[in-house]
Structures are given as C-alpha cells and as structure tokens.
Chains A and B, each alone.
Chain A
Amino acid sequence: MSEPLLELSQVSFTYPGAAGAVLEALDLRFEATQRIGLFGPNGSGKTTLLHVIMGLLRPQSGMVRHKGREVATERDFREVRRSIGMLLQNADDQIIYPTVLDDVAFGPLNRGLPGEAARELAEQTLAMLGLEGFGDRLAHRLSGGEKKLVSLAGVLAMEPDALLLDEPTGGLDPATRERLVEILERLGKPMIIISHDWDFLAHVTDTYYSIGNGRLIRNPDLILHRHVHGHPMGDHEHHHH
C-alpha cells in the first residue's frame, strides 16, 4: 500500500487559555488521489486542522506524517509548505506586495529560483488563471474576486503537489465562483477544501468530512445533488451539469 500524502494520528489541540480542546485525538488520512470537502459549524476546528497540518499551530499531542515522515519542527514543516499550498480565507492577508507580479513571485523567490525564472513562473501562473496583464496592477485596486484569484496564483506559483483551501468561495460572485470551479477541476490536484457552499463542494470534491467533538466524521452516505436556487430567467427550462 502506498504512503498517504498526509497522515494525522491522535492529534489534540487546545488554544491557550481555552476551556476545551478544539481537536481531540483526531485521525486523518489524506491520499494523493483524494479531494476532500470539509464542512461543519463555525468554531468546530476546520481552520485549526489546516493550520496544524501546515505547522502554523503545533498540537499538544499526536503525530503529523508527511509522505511517511514525521514532521514536528519548523524545519520539517518548511518541507510540508513546499509540497502543500494553502489558501487563506482572507486574500488581503495573503497578498503582501502592492503589485501583483511581485506578490506572485514571492513564493518562487523564497524557493530559491533566480529572478528571471521566478518572474516567468509568476507570469505563467497568472496566465493560467486568466489574469494575463495583471502583473503591474495594484493590489488595493483589485476587486474581491480578483484578489482571491491573485492570492490563489501566489499559492499555485509554489507548484504544490496538493492544496488546502479555506473557504475559497466566500464573498465571490457567481461568475468568479464558476471560474474557481473550472480552475480547480483543471488542476486535478489532491485537495482539502473547507466550505459551507454545498454546490461548490459537490463540483470539486469527492469525499466529505465534518468535525464533531474534535474528531473527523466521515459522511460516506452524503450525496450532494440537490439544490434550490434562484436566478434571472429561472422560469425557463435549463440544465445543470
């Protein structure tokens, strides 16, 4: 049997000063073929789980394994961050440079790519997301949807093997959301997506988990196929795929 991309065993995490544990003896097996949808109420620990995976938070107990190797120190997690890209909830937190091209090139430069190569990779990544010519745009003049796509470009320019996305569709208009679905389907990378957007999850993920009492709950029986919606011309016959 092949090694999973990521494995968490008996991971517990409590925020300092908090009454109870957010994650309690949590187990997770993330295969390189999976696209996991993670849902659940606010405060149930979904974001905390992703932060533990990326080493932004260190669990009080339990073990994180990346490609079969235990990761525990900051140095170990640098390797994890090179292999797994994470998109934060708020794009403004993620875009640190005033100009788009500099921001997208940040990750590649950190990886040690020389300037010209980093610049080329940044431009290619922008083009792949349909953001040609955005290089010199100013971050604070971008729309919410454009910011989201630019921050995704910053993550994808790291050329990650897998993606963790924290509520990627929050605040997006339907057109941008569609674009995101199309991009994620095209990437075909293993991913874990936190979302409350069922329709979105149904499109891009195939395995569903929620978190309850600090543990993962698998929902094998959950079939995402129903939706109620309204839009202009909704009374005309139409199809969904």
Chain B
Amino acid sequence: MIDDQLATGTSPIHGLDARCRLAACLLLSVVAALAQNQQTALVILAAGLLLTALSGASFGAVLRRAAAINVFILFLWLFVPLSTPGVPLWQGFGLTISRQGVSLAWLVTLKANAVFFCVLSLLATIPAPALGRAMTALGVPAKFSFLFVFTYRYLHVIAEEYDRLVTAARLRGFVPATDGRTYRTYAALVAMVLVRSYDRSQRVYQAMLLRGFTGLFPCLNRFRAGRRDMLFLLAAGAVAGLAAFLEVRARSGNV
C-alpha cells in the first residue's frame, strides 16, 4: 500500500528528534533552493549524500527514487541548453547549445538532487504520524498538520475499501479490458469510493463529537530532544551557513 519503508530503521538518523530533522531539512533545502551558484548547491548535495549514507537506506530504494526525480531533470536537459542564449558550445541542424544553458541545466540538476537527498535522509525517515506532530511542534497551523495526519490515517482505510470493491467486481467475473464497459466500471468503483468516503467522514466526525471534540486539536508532545539532537541541528545549521556564505560571496563577486 503506502510505501514508508524508509521510516523504520535504527540508523543514527532515525535516532534523532523528528523536530530537529524537520528543521535541519528546511534550513538545508531553503539554501539549496535559493542557490544560483554551483558551489552552494554542491555543499548541500554533499551534506545530503552524507546524511543518506548515514540513514542506512537501501541502495536500491535510493536509486529508484533518485531515478524518478531525475527523469524530470532529463527533460530540462532536452530544452534548457538549446533555449538559453549565450556563448555557443555546439551548433548544427539550426540549433545552438549554449555554455550558459548547459551550466544552468547543471545547476538545476545539482539543486534538485541536493534537496532530494536532504528530504530523503531527513524527512522520509520520519514516520508520518511523528512528522505531523513535528510540524505542529514547529508552529505549523494545527489544521494543516492534522489534515496531513488524517490523510495518512484514512488513506489506508480508503485504499482498503477500493481493494474490496475491485475484489467484489472480480469475484463476479469482471475482467478489465480496454473498452467502454471497463471504464464505466472503474468510474462506478471510484464513485462508490467517493460516496463511501463521504459517509465515513460523517461517521468519523460523529465519533469525534462523541469523544468530546470541540474544534481544537490538542496534541501529545512526545518529543525528547537531547544534546545529540542539538549538536546535529547546529551542524546542519553550520553547513547551511557555509553554503549561504559561499552563495553571498559568489554573488557579490559577480557584481
């Protein structure tokens, strides 16, 4: 069903406080996202790769996810070098590849992968419920973080409901094909899931009222941040600071 295999583990990363991981991830990715300089992106990418190695994620899982991201990047490589004006590197068939285009595409590749590896090592290693609590603890509005937590909870229930409907259809001889009847059947199944989910949302709301829900979302604070967590956050802050320093220096040098 929902793939959260990275969230369970015993690596040094998994042992860190979820709030610290979330905050560190934000720091590093914001700097990477704003970078216009390859050095900046490279520093964050190196940090992301190091963290990913520390997180003990299986090589296969990392590769599969990295491939998914880089397919999008591949499309950028098709167009950006050709469409960016600048010093020509290569000309032919009426097309020009510019030096600026190539370096822009390279920068985007570095930035995207830098953010990707930070998120993979720091966020994907947090189980969704803890991530929801960490968001609340860091001041994300309760409505938003609870929407996230409820989605995680009921996505499984709704997926099971859909599976049951598909099973029921198959038990009565439904075989998917590429025809109108198949599409109509799937449309009916999806409609059923929507209707049932709506009904369920009513019952869930009733159940919440029965347990004294008043519109507020109180939350257990289950976090314990220790010295190790603080050191980690400081280190992440230092790396983000170093990257930001390189960025500022490069930009002022260009002026």
Instruction: Say whether A110 contacts B220, CB under 8 Å.
Output: no
Closest to A105 in B: B220
Instruction: Say whether A97 contacts B214, CB under 8 Å.
Output: no
CA distance A168 to B119 in the complex (A): 43
Main secondary structure of the interface of B (DSSP, over half): helix
Closest to A54 in B: B210
B202 to chain A, nearest CB (A): 9
Residues of chain B within 8 A (CB-CB) of A95 are 153
Report the contact-size class of chain B (Cβ under 8 Å from the partner).
20 to 34
Instruction: Say whether B157 contacts A92, CB under 8 Å.
Output: yes
B66 at the interface (CB under 8 A from A): no
Q: Give 1 or 0 for each of B216-235: 1 = CB within 8 Å of chain A CB.
A: 10111110000000000000
Instruction: Say whether A139 contacts B153, CB under 8 Å.
Output: yes
Which stretch (A13-21, A78-86, A201-209) binds chain B?
A78-86
CA distance A95 to B153 in the complex (A): 9
With most chain A CB atoms within 10 A of its CB, the pick from B211, B214, B219 is B211
With most chain A CB atoms within 10 A of its CB, the pick from B128, B156, B208, B218 is B218
Which stretch (A111-119, A173-181, A220-228) binds chain B?
A111-119
Partner of A99, one of B129, B157, B209: B129
B17 to chain A, nearest CB (A): 16
B140 at the interface (CB under 8 A from A): no
Closest to A74 in B: B209
Instruction: Say whether B211 contacts A102, CB under 8 Å.
Output: no
CA distance A56 to B220 in the complex (A): 27
CA distance A98 to B220 in the complex (A): 13
The B183-215 residues at the A interface (CB cut-off 8 A) are 200, 203-204, 206-214
B149 at the interface (CB under 8 A from A): yes
The A138-161 residues at the B interface (CB cut-off 8 A) are 138-140, 154-155, 158
Question: Could you list 11 further interchain pairs (A-B, Cβ under 8 angstroms) beyond the known A88-B203, A93-B204?
Answer: A81-B211, A92-B200, A93-B206, A93-B207, A96-B204, A97-B153, A98-B153, A107-B211, A109-B220, A138-B129, A154-B211
B contacts, CB < 8 Å to A: 1, 127-129, 133, 149-150, 152-153, 156-157, 200, 203-204, 206-214, 216, 218-222
